Structures are given as C-alpha cells and as structure tokens.
Structure 1
Amino acid sequence: MSAREQKQQQIIQVTHQILVRDGMGKLSMRRVAGDANMSLSNLQYYYKDLDTLLIAVIIDYFAWYTNEVAENLTKTLENQSNFESFLRAILNDHLVPGGKTERCSMFREIWSLATRNPTIESTVKEHYKSYVQQTVQLISQFTPKPDATAAILLPYVEGYSIMGDSLTLNKSEVIDLLVKFVINLK
C-alpha cells in the first residue's frame, strides 16, 4: 500500500470511528482533520469535501462488510450438512436485535445519510444490488429458489436490528419461523 493509500485509509478509519461513536451530527471535515492529526487543507487534498469523504467511507465499509459476510457464508456452507442447518447458523449469527453492534450503528448512519443525499443513496442501492447477487449465488447450490430466499431473508435481517427487540417472538422462534418458510418455498 502506498503512502497516499495509507493516509486515505487512516482518514477513512477516523471518519468511521466518529460516525459510529458520535453520529453524523458531530462529523465535520475540521473534526476529521483534527482527529487524524492533520490540517484541514491536507485533508481536503485527499477528499475535497464531506460528501466525497462520506462516499469513500461508505464504499470502504460496504467492501469490508461484503467480504465479511461472504467469508461467514462460505465457512458456514462448509460446516453445515444441509440447507436447513446452514439457514439456522446464518440467521443465528445475523439476527442482532436492538442494533447493539458497531455494524448496526454504521448501517443506521449510512441509511440516515442516504435519505438526505442522492449520491449516497445511489451508492447504498448499488451495494445492495451487489450484495443480493452475491447471496443468491452462494445459496443457489442449496435451494431451487435462491432469489426468493434472498428476497425474504435479506430485508428481514436488516430490519431485525431495528425492531427485533419489539417482536412477540424470541430470536429462536423467529429463526424457526423463517427456516420453515424458506424451506417450504414453492
């Protein structure tokens, strides 16, 4: 990695930390520059404005997240003997109620930004298109309905972090219900 790429990665990490810890309301170019121990003009050499920086952070985060999910799915596929056990393992890992993880906090910030910024919204949509295609490809070896399976599970997993604590079923019961539904897709 070149010195420029290292500096860009440092800036991205600092921005990510501010977003997760303090939210968008506390993020500014001046704050990032200060936390990264650099001048504002030096930061602007790498990222001309906050939108450019945010898009770089989001792209970096989604690349990390996509790789993380792909690795988890692949490991789970290798360790499970059938589609049902695979589904149970993945849902158990990915259903996180209450957004109590850094991953959930970052997604909430990204979605909040996407509601106010069309460029970020477009970046988010492109990520999800790619993410869905990747998931469909990975699970296609187990189910004749990979598109339908992804269409049911992916939005549910995303939304569970927001309202999972409010459901009348516990996590185990939700997993049982989702597995039964997916297994019986016609």
Structure 2
Amino acid sequence: MTKRDERTRQIIDQTIHLLREEGSEGLTLRKVAAACGITLSNVQYYFPGKPELIQATVAQFFTTCKELIQADRALVLPKDPESSKAFLKRVIEVLVVCDNQEFNVIFREIWALSSRDAALKATLEEYYRDYAQWMIGLIEEIFPQANEIVSLLIPYAEGYALVGNTVPLNRDKQVAMLVRLITEWPTAGRGVKGGSKVGIRR
C-alpha cells in the first residue's frame, strides 16, 4: 500500500467514525483533519469537498463487500445445489442483511445527506446502478432470474439498514427467508431447481 493509499484510508476511516458518532450534520473536513492529526489543506488535497469525501466512503464500502464476495464466488460450482445455496446465503449475509451496524448507521447518514445534495444523490444512484449490474453478473450463471432477484435484494438491503432491528424476525431468520424465497422461485437457479416450486407468483 502506497503512502497515498494509507492516507486516503485513514481519512475515510475517520470519516466513518465521525459519521457514526456525530451524524452527517457533525461531519466537516476540519473535524476529519483534526481526527487524522493533519491539516485541513492536507485533507482537501485528497478530497476537495465534503461530497467527494462522502462519495469515496461509499465507494470504499462497496469495494470491501465486493472483495469479500468475489473470494467466495470462485468456489461455487454452478450445477452444484449445495454450493449454489451456500453462496446465495453468503451474498445475502454480506450484501443484504448486513450485520455491520457501523455501515448501517453510515448509510442512513449518507442518504440523509443525499436528500439535500443533488450531486451526491446522483452519485449514489449511479453507484447503485453499477452495483446492481455487478450483482446480476455475480449470480446469473446460478440463477437465471438474476434481474428479478437483484431487484428484490437491493431495496431489501436498504430497508434493512433502516429498520432491520425492529422487525419480528431476527437476522438469521431473515437470511433464511430470503434464501428460501429465491431458491423456491419458479424455475429458480439451475443449481437448486430440485426444490419446491412454491415461489413468488408473477
């Protein structure tokens, strides 16, 4: 890791800490600089403004998730029911019903910021378009209805970040429910098509 990469990661880590502790209203480049022990101009060298810093924080979250999942994807055999189902469960645990409460808090704050910042909102929407296409590519070899599945999972993930701790089912049961819905989808994955056909009616 280069010195630039290390500094960038430090700034993003402190941004995450401030978002968690003080919320979006309390986040300023000056506070980030103080938390990092560097000057404001040094932070601005990497991130000219708050929108750029927030965008980099979002990108870092997605990059981390992708790295975790890509490592698991290499082990999946498309025609093997057990590995397909295990991989689907992993995708849902990491990308949808995420137990990283820190990032759940951060995403609430980022969406709050985006409601008042058109440029940030546009950036987030573009990230999600790219993210959706990445997820489709990730699972379409296993689940032919990848478009429908991703259209279910991404909004569910956003809703879970907001209210997941308040609904009747705990996290494990929510994961199991989503796995069951997808693997019982009509003509679902080639690797898991031996299951029940009691799926979502379209």
Q: How many residues align?
A: 183
The equivalences for 1:17-32 within 5 A come to 17-32=17-32
Quote how far apart the aligned CAs of 1:2 are. Answer: 4.1
**Structure-2 residue corresponding to 1:102:** 102
Deviation larger for 101-110 or 52-61: 52-61
Q: Which residue of 2 aligns with 1:123?
A: 123
User: 1:137-152 maps to which residues of 2 (within 5 A)?
Assistant: 137-152=137-152
Q: Partners in 2 of 1:92 and 1:52 — Cα distance?
A: 29
Change (3 A) 1:70 1:122: farther
Name the structure 2 match of 1:77. 76
Measure how far apart 1:11 and its partner are.
Answer: 1.9
User: Which residue is 2:14 aligned to?
Assistant: 14
Q: Quote how far apart the aligned CAs of 1:115 are.
A: 1.4
2:76 counterpart SS class: helix
Cα distance in 1, alignment partners of residues 9 and 97 from structure 2: 29
Mapped contact 1:136–1:150 kept (Cα < 8 A): yes
Q: Which residue of 2 aligns with 1:113?
A: 113
Aligned CA distance change for structure 1 residues 62 and 119 (closer, same or farther; 3 Å): farther
- Does the Cα contact within 8 Å between 1:76 and 1:90 map onto a contact in 2? no
Q: Secondary structure at the match of 1:116?
A: coil
Aligned 8 A contact 2:97 2:157 in 1:
yes
- Structure 1 residue 57 corresponds to structure 2 residue 57: yes
Q: Gaps spanning 5+ residues in structure 2: where?
A: 188-202
Number of the residue aligned with 1:132: 132
Q: CA deviation at 1:174?
A: 3.9
Provide the secondary structure at the position in 1 that maps to 2:82: coil
Unaligned runs of 5+ in 1: none
Letter aligned with residue 77 of structure 1: V
**1:69-119 CA-partner distances (Å, limit 9, x unpaired):** 4335x16736962544443444355424xx761221222122112211112
Distance 1:57-1:80 versus aligned 2 partners, 3 A rule? same
- Tell me the residue number matched to 1:91: 92
Q: 1 or 2, which has the higher helix percentage?
A: 1
Shift of 1:138: 1.6
What TM-score, normalized by structure 1, do the two folds share? 0.78
